[in-house]
Amino acid sequence: MTPDDFRKNRLPRKWFERDDVVKVAKELVGAYLCTDHPKEGLTVGRIVETEAYRGWGDKACHANEGKKTARNEIMFREGGHAYVYLCYGIHELFNVVTHRKDHPNAVLIRAIEPVFGVTTMVKRRYSPRAKESRLGAGPGLVTQCLGIDRKLNGVDMVDSPDLWIAKPNRPIPKNKIKAVPRVGVDYAGEDALLPWRVYLEDSPAVSRK
């Protein structure tokens, strides 16, 4: 896979606009999250862990019951937009908006394996002690590695030169994808039990619980 391959294989609007956010979350495993910075250049991570969030029937979702706020407004746009927000006052978390306009579903990208631009990723990480395979082993680390912050909130990844997702090189076998409850959403009551965290079995980059 060359830099040109990642640019050529960008996922289109239709791919993101499908209505089943859990299915999209599973199919994002194996896809390539790509950023291109004017100075630092191309960095690419292979997505190995995601979480689905749904606008209705999911108390863990920022847009639960379709409630629009200043923060979550991006979730109401067409699938394919980037929703980036600040978590715990410290970490920027990156989500892929899915479904059509006014259906606020999104997929949190929780972990990537470094694929391209690894020296840049190491430089961007605040902690230089981390093992290379685990540079992106958590949602706050994914954004550090790839240079994603709230300046990219609202970017349309279908045609942005700065941020996009490329389709998997080859499909991941279904039996390699595990589905378990999401992390850090205990406040959501019974919805915290939904198995909407999905990850690639055996990946060294899966986040710790």
Residue ranges in contact with DNA by CB under 7 A: 51, 53, 60-62, 67, 69-72, 85-91, 93, 95, 106, 108, 125-127, 129-130, 138-141, 182-185, 187, 207
Q: Residue 144: which H helix or E strand, with range?
A: helix 139-146
Q: Is 75 exposed, middle or buried (0-12, 13-18, 19+ CB in 10 A)?
A: buried
> Is the CB of 42 or the CB of 130 nearer to DNA?
130
To DNA, the closest distance from the beta carbon of 93 in angstroms equals 6
> Is the CB of 93 or the CB of 200 nearer to DNA?
93
> Is the CB of 140 or the CB of 154 nearer to DNA?
140
> Is the CB of 203 or the CB of 207 nearer to DNA?
207
To DNA, the closest distance from the beta carbon of 35 in angstroms equals 17
To DNA, the closest distance from the beta carbon of 17 in angstroms equals 18
For residue 61, give both structure tokens: 């979702």
To DNA, the closest distance from the beta carbon of 4 in angstroms equals 30
Q: Looking at this protein, which amino acid is placed at residue 19?
A: D
User: How far, in Å, CA of 105 to CA of 98, rounded?
Assistant: 5
To DNA, the closest distance from the beta carbon of 39 in angstroms equals 23
> Is the CB of 6 or the CB of 27 nearer to DNA?
27
> Shortest CA distance to 7 belongs to which of 119, 163, 127, 134?
163
User: How far, in Å, CA of 76 to CA of 140, rounded?
Assistant: 23
> Is the CB of 179 or the CB of 183 nearer to DNA?
183
15 contact partners, CB below 8 Å, separation of at least 6: 24, 79, 80, 167
To DNA, the closest distance from the beta carbon of 61 in angstroms equals 5
User: How far, in Å, CA of 12 to CA of 171, rounded?
Assistant: 17
Q: Is 108 exposed, middle or buried (0-12, 13-18, 19+ CB in 10 A)?
A: buried
